Structure 1
């Protein structure tokens, strides 16, 4: 492991100042739970010149705004988020998504901010002996012709076919969550759907954040319709999604009034299924309509040699989840 400097920040201003003072500002990293960053450092994939410890910052609370918006501090652990009574009662999709990720031990340590910023990755990215455009631009993407069974079918490029691993971020995308960020110009809010970027020709950057930006929290507006998170994986626990679905559905009189849908395990970022949502609004709440909506979204899929199975898997998971939610909505009407 490469030697690095370490600083512990007491305030957001301290953290940003320590980050800016690093020998190479692009090479400094904020350290929360470290469950992804430290692993990558051990593998020699990440080699920061400085770590700025932000675990002491006062962003470890879960609160409610008067309008019902849930405010989750960036330092809240995943376990605390999933166990919170308000989250379990009013945002069960989010709790389910968090509990679907990693192991109990990792959730006890991992933070909300760190979960959002974990690297989009594949086995080639994590193997420093292999070429990878995310680590070494222009070196190639061996996953395209190599092992890619679990990798992207949407939004990928010739430069990268890695998938974003977060379950929580998929649920937050469907919940229209926003991310609160402190940066050089002060505090600003970014919609979660705008936080992430697709790989394009340069997959090194996973997010749209500027150098030194610090995530301080997440805002989740109230959701007043049935919602669910479903995840398909190769084993029962501690596995990334092959495909996951975060969905919410408002059905009245057998007609879809509103819909939210996001997919995981299929792209370089949590994939907000806007085409499917547009197809659902005003449609009859039937399996046929749900299948047409899924097909509208998956028409853009470009599977590789060995991951074409993800297209029907995603389609079937969307239809099943929406069918369950439609039945729940009608029962509660």
Structure 2
């Protein structure tokens, strides 16, 4: 690991000024960035510690929730309002990593964590366009069982590793940012980029911008929600496929539905196609599977991950069945 400068910010304005002056990176819990530095994937000249900034979790005037970017994952998962009104988010957080990591990891850092693709981490022996633009992608013809089946490109087939972000995508969360140009907000579903020809560009962050908070709206679909993660082992494993879904039923029909998928793309994948099929319909397994088929119609498998397509369809149907009471 190379030497670097370290500064601790006491306010958002302070953090933005420090990062601009030093061209530094923001440091939350360090559960991803420090790993990347150890593996020589990233080598920032300076770190600006923002872990002491806003960690509050407050209800908004319209019944939503504002979560400070420095809030620990474990605190968000245990918060009574999150558990009662946004159960998919609590479940997603508890499905991620280990208790020790959840106690350190922050909401802002979770949103910004980078792929766990083994080729991305192998800085000394593998080609990776995300790490070194133009180098190539060894995952395409390599060990790609855990890689993307939606939204991938000839330049990158990595997946986004976050469980929390899948729930946030389904909840229509808003990410609040502050940078040299002032404050702005971006919808979580628009915050992460698909790889295209520039997989090194992973988010919509502008230079020097800091995530300050995440905001959730209220709603019946958010309250009647669930998160299911399918993985190779029950602890400390990333999703092969995950589904965050919320369902509102009125007079026996689906009045509102929110679905997002994890483990299948370079960003949390909002299942817009499936949602369109479901709205206004009477719930049932045949309908759920039809919606899942529509959503996965554009999926493209690599040599080792074709199983993900059918697994995603069955998981979507299973979670919707759980929420509607219509299990297969």
Q: Structures share a fold, TM > 0.5?
A: yes
Partner of 1:200: 196
1:209 to 186, 205, 209: 205
- What RMSD, in angstroms, separates the aligned Cα atoms of the two structures? 1.2
Deviation at 1:223, TM superposition (A): 2.4
**Mapping 1:83-102, distance limit 5 Å:** 83-102=78-97
1:284 to 260, 282, 285: 282
Contact 1:78–1:110 (CA under 8 A) maintained in structure 2: yes
Q: SS at 2:38's partner residue? A: helix
Deviation at 1:286, TM superposition (A): 1.1
Matches of 1:300 and 1:187, distance apart in 2:
36
1:161 to 157, 168, 191: 157
- How many equivalent residue pairs? 324
Runs of 5+ in structure 1 lacking a partner?
Answer: 329-333
Matches of 2:94 and 2:170, distance apart in 1:
17
Partner of 2:10: 10
Matches of 1:116 and 1:168, distance apart in 2:
8
Partner of 1:327: 325
**Mapping 1:172-321, distance limit 5 Å:** 172-225=168-221, 226-321=224-319
Matches of 2:180 and 2:278, distance apart in 1:
41
Contact 2:32–2:114 (CA under 8 A) maintained in structure 1: yes
TM-score scaled to structure 2, two decimals?
Answer: 0.97
Matches of 2:284 and 2:250, distance apart in 1:
13
Partner of 2:28: 32
Runs of 5+ in structure 2 lacking a partner?
Answer: none
Matches of 2:152 and 2:282, distance apart in 1:
32
Q: Does 1:134 align with 2:125?
A: no
Partner of 2:108: 113
Find runs of 4+ consecutive structure 1 residues off by over 6 angstroms.
Answer: none
Q: SS at 1:21's partner residue? A: helix
Contact 1:101–1:238 (CA under 8 A) maintained in structure 2: yes
Deviation at 1:11, TM superposition (A): 1.0
Partner of 1:47: 43
Deviation at 1:283, TM superposition (A): 2.1
Contact 2:148–2:264 (CA under 8 A) maintained in structure 1: yes
Deviation at 1:234, TM superposition (A): 0.4
Contact 2:220–2:247 (CA under 8 A) maintained in structure 1: no
Contact 1:91–1:223 (CA under 8 A) maintained in structure 2: no
Matches of 1:40 and 1:327, distance apart in 2:
43
Matches of 1:313 and 1:242, distance apart in 2:
9
Matches of 1:46 and 1:121, distance apart in 2:
14
Partner of 1:79: 74
Tell me the alpha carbon deviations over residues 90-125 of structure 1, each in whole angstroms, 9 at most, x when there is no partner.
Answer: 111110000000000000000000000001240000
TM-score scaled to structure 1, two decimals?
Answer: 0.95
Matches of 2:257 and 2:103, distance apart in 1:
32
Q: SS at 1:125's partner residue? A: helix
